[in-house]
Amino acid sequence: MKYYILLFLALIGINGIAQNNTIAAGESLVYTASYNMSGILTDIAQVKMETSEVKTSKSTLLRLKCTATTFKKWDNFFKIRDLYESYVNPKTLTPYLYKRDISEGGYYKFMQYKYNHKTHLVKSLKRKKNREGNFWDENKTVKIGASTKDLVSTLYYIRNLDIHKASVGDQQNFTVLFDNKETVITLKYIGKETIATEIGNKECYKLSISIKGSDILKGNNDNLLWLTADANKVPVYAKFKIPVGNGELKIKSATGLKN
């Protein structure tokens, strides 16, 4: 389900935030993921994004959790149980811990990042399963840039950006750590568009997405993301085209919004 997650990544015309004014604990966003099967766009999975407060011995963090689960009728065809989560500073959304636990059609991988922002280093743990069902671990220390984040913290981080200040055609790169490699996402602001969703008609910021040096996403302006043009900047719709087909992500419900 990494393609669905990658589609959410957007940064337009702004370089950072001083304060989190958009995301609060208790938010829940639910989506339906669809894929083009034999020429028919078919609902195959549910994607859920949730936030919660986590208290540690030293501080209180915000847990950003994203899960992807195939509907039961598709489990025998290609069962997916994916978890992505990031533990961040609730005021700045700076990540301290990231976990990715994916199970897709018999394939399993676990990734964990522990950030040291003073040294710009990440301690990475990768755990995989071989054909015999045995697990093996790989530990690495990865050097990252000062603004590099993981997938989940990036998604929530961009919802605080002042996209309303962008002009049509503005574009910018953003760096995400994925599978121990820094990946550059290029995003372009196309303009505003009002679309019909399950949570009502929404005026949205429309963004196009591409990944530098990768053929994961295909086409020109075929990979698009719509964020509500309000104080919450909720991702409500995404469409993508990849080498093996195309699909969509549509919002079903949004509760616990801060604004």
Domain ranges, ordered by start, for the chain: 2-255
Whether 159 shows a pLDDT value over 60: the answer reads yes
User: What is the mean predicted confidence (pLDDT) over 99-112?
Assistant: 94
Band of residue 13 on the pLDDT scale cut at 50, 70, 90: very low
Residue 195 CB burial class (10 angstroms; 0-12, 13-18, ≥19): middle
Whether 7 shows a pLDDT value over 50: the answer reads no
**Is the pTM above the cut of 0.85?**
yes
Lowest mean pLDDT: which of 13-17, 136-140, 164-168, 254-258?
13-17
Radius of gyration, CA atoms only, the chain: 18
Distance between CA atoms of 86 and 114, rounded to whole angstroms?
Answer: 10
Give the rounded percent of residues in the chain with a pLDDT score beyond 70: 88
Cα angle 95-15-28, degrees, rounded to a multiple of 5: 45
As given in the structure block, the two tokens for residue 240 are 């993508």
Distance between CA atoms of 202 and 88, rounded to whole angstroms?
Answer: 29
One-letter amino acid at 59 equals S
Backbone angles phi, psi at 244, to 5 degrees: -105, 15
**Which pairing describes strands 28-37 and 224-228: parallel, antiparallel, or unpaired?**
unpaired
Write out pLDDT tens, residues 166-179: 999 998 778 899 99
177 vs 12, residue with greater confidence:
177
Write out pLDDT tens, residues 183-242: 888 888 999 999 999 999 999 999 888 777 655 555 566 788 999 999 999 999 999 877
Lowest mean pLDDT: which of 5-19, 45-59, 188-202, 229-243?
5-19
> What confidence score (pLDDT) does residue 214 get?
57
- For domain 2-255, which CATH number applies: 2.40.360, 2.60.120, 3.30.43, 1.10.3210? 2.40.360
What does pLDDT average to over the chain?
A: 87
Write out pLDDT tens, residues 122-144: 999 999 987 777 888 999 999 99
* Dihedral sign computed on CA atoms, order 167, 94, 21, 258: positive
